[in-house]
Homo-oligomer: A and B are copies of this chain.
Amino acid sequence: MIDNKGLLIVISGPSAVGKGTICKELFKRNIENLELSISATTRNPRPNEINGVNYHFIDKESFGKMVEHGEFLEYAQVYDNYYGTPKKYVIDKINQGKDVILEIDIQGAKQVRQNYKDGIFIFIMPPSFKELKSRIMKRGTEAQKDIDKRMKCAYEEIEQAKYYNYIVINDDLHNAVEKIYCIIKAEKCRLSRYHIDLSEFKEEL
């Protein structure tokens, strides 16, 4: 009676909001059938990185062809390298009944929204702008000019929250992780995931 397809869960939010930490904690819970999406990248693997585990390492030519053929849910250039989420990899997992988590920045999430309408989009919100600023400052000894620039960028990113399905305020790590766990569990109970077939019941009448 239930749809055996998995869910695509997109976790996004402004930079420094803590989405990486939240995802790490979420996976510590060993939730059945939950997997983290693996990105493709053109950068060279670091000594301890394994192809297909940390990233799908591919060369620039292959990446370019995949872009051309629309084979990414989203992609971006960061300095000299490209990063992207291969559509086929994610869709295969979902068809196998896996729920796939995509932890991604706001720009990437926007592309996914256009390419995969059935995704569940969760926006991680800072408890306050002040708190976000302090988190950005803690991350490095950035110049005031850079901090101002990042805060302006965060403001524009938070404006995008209205396109998401859920808002999770990251005021407390445990709380935020619990909410995401619940969102996934609840989404699996939604009516749209069931094909209510009464014929099996009818037979027993």
Contact = CB atoms under 8 A, between A and B. Distances in A.
Interface string A151-169: 1100100110110111111
Interface stretch (A62-70, A73-81, A85-93, A195-203): A195-203
Contacts of A200: 128-129
Nearest to A164: B191
A32 to B, nearest CB: 12
A113 interface: no
A130 B203 CA distance: 10
A185 interface: yes
A159 B165 CA distance: 28
A15 to B, nearest CB: 15
Contacts of A130: 204
A166 B188 CA distance: 9
Interface residues of A, number: 42
B183 A167 contact: no
B162 A191 contact: yes
Say what secondary structure dominates the interface of chain A: helix
A162 B204 contact: no
A116 interface: no
Contacts of A190: 165-167
A182 interface: yes
Given A168-B189, A182-B181, A186-B183, A196 B155 contact: no
Given A182-B182, A185-B179, A196-B158, A204 B164 contact: no
